[in-house]
Structure 1
């Protein structure tokens, strides 16, 4: 099972360093026939790569922090049995999980708030996740005993202090899971940037990589002969290199959160 999961990832890595002809002919299995860095060199020559990489890192860090700041307190509030109108508020969060407003109304809302073509359009409008709020609510309700809150009240602890001093330190699992899910979602996001960002200096890595690969395909359509063969080979190497460049940071982040992820990933399967 480990081999089935790891090998495709490893194949992408070695294919990014291999001649596309060797990959197409099945000569590359566990190690490149001949090391070739042309795909990475050509990809990193693109002017917007480094800027977009920085943009994506900032979007991911800031967006994840904002998402945790709004989703975790909302999930905790919904887990409190003394919250007035708790069932109706929960219903209010559950409905958008199945019914969305649509692209055009969302675009008009973002435009009216003045967020179009700004940094904040990538981190604010979609920070609230109803799914993550329900996950957090389930975790708090099943993992934190009511007696803990009662003991805190006896010692004179208020709701806000209880949340920050006791709930959050005991909730590393759900924080790690929701944080990782959010970070991966923001890191891989390109559609929102394509719709709401026209300023190239604000565009994230995924959108820039998409534009580069599409431009290469366009060049292939007008080239012929040996030039077409060379461009096709370079395009294939750039595709593999783009996959490695765009996924490596998130893959490096996962091992540090794995122990919390393993503990918290089953939260949503617990029924009330």
Structure 2
């Protein structure tokens, strides 16, 4: 018994050490970029910046927060993420609930059509032509409607809905509840872990995607934050100043790029703690005694 307990403690300690090392490896790039955004130009050029700032300065963030294009792109990204995620979750919940009901006629055919879209799609050019025919180019709807429902997320939520005991549904029907009440008052509260996870998936997808905006948006006032970030990093296209009137460098271009990256990452990092506890705790535990 003592040897077994000792081996368990050794195994537990080894797991903690391994997870801590993996966490540090994953955290290193973020710390490096954060340090670059706070370091002086000389320190960055000389390669002395690793995971802590050298020659601490906040000029990069000062310049970033003075750029009107940054605020405009940030606002577009927030509107797209909030509106797009709301539409995604609404349509996914409605479709997942319908497909989870075994008495739905044509349920198998609809599921096959959903799975078909996971394997084949119309392609980039046909999608562009379709959005052009619908007059959706240069609008936020071109960034939201093509990805209104994810087939993978739909299947995940459908399977979660199917795991809810039918006895609860029958009890609700006996009390006179219709499909809308059952979905809103029964399925969604009992599926909060899945709902929170899929909401985060959709939100991260909308926040990080930039290729569709490059394809469908020409109006610079509608470009989201990730396109702004791409222009700063790849094209060095920015209204931020990096030199003074004498031509001397005030801040490094790399520092500006790092500050822009940090500004684009912080919102998702701030949201994650509010949904993280749903990933590890299921509200259905003990809900039904059979």
Pairing 1:130–2:148 present? no
For 2:23 and 2:140, how far apart are their aligned partners in 1? 40
Single out whichever of 36-45 and 179-188 deviates more from structure 2: 36-45
CA distance 1:8–1:208, change in 2 (3 Å) = closer
For 2:201 and 2:81, how far apart are their aligned partners in 1? 11
Pairing 1:7–2:25 present? no
More helix by share: 1
Q: Give 1:47 shift.
A: 2.8
Pairing 1:116–2:116 present? no
Single out whichever of 202-211 and 25-34 deviates more from structure 2: 25-34
Q: Secondary structure at the match of 1:168?
A: helix
1:145 alignment partner, one of 154, 165, 171: 165
Q: Give 1:137 shift.
A: 0.7
Pairing 1:250–2:250 present? no
2:254 alignment partner, one of 236, 244, 267: 236
2:189 alignment partner, one of 146, 169, 176: 169
Q: Give 1:94 shift.
A: 0.7
* Aligned residue in 1 for 2:230: 210
Normalised by the length of structure 1, the TM-score is 0.85
* Aligned residue in 2 for 1:259: 277
- Taking the TM superposition and a 5 Å limit, the aligned residue runs for 1:8-27 are 8-19=29-40, 21-23=42-44, 25-27=46-48
Q: Secondary structure at the match of 1:125?
A: helix
How large is the RMSD of aligned CA atoms in angstroms?
A: 2.3
Normalised by the length of structure 2, the TM-score is 0.80
Q: Give 1:120 shift.
A: 1.9
- Taking the TM superposition and a 5 Å limit, the aligned residue runs for 1:69-88 are 69-88=90-109
1:179 alignment partner, one of 192, 196, 199: 199
Pairing 1:195–2:215 present? yes
Q: Give 1:262 shift.
A: 3.7
**Mapped contact 1:79–1:137 kept (Cα < 8 A):** yes
Greater Cα radius of gyration, structure 1 or 2: 2
CA distance 1:114–1:217, change in 2 (3 Å) = closer
Q: Give 1:25 shift.
A: 4.6
Q: Give 1:182 shift.
A: 0.6
Q: Deviations over 1:111-150 (max 9, x none)?
A: 11111111222222211111111111111112x1111111
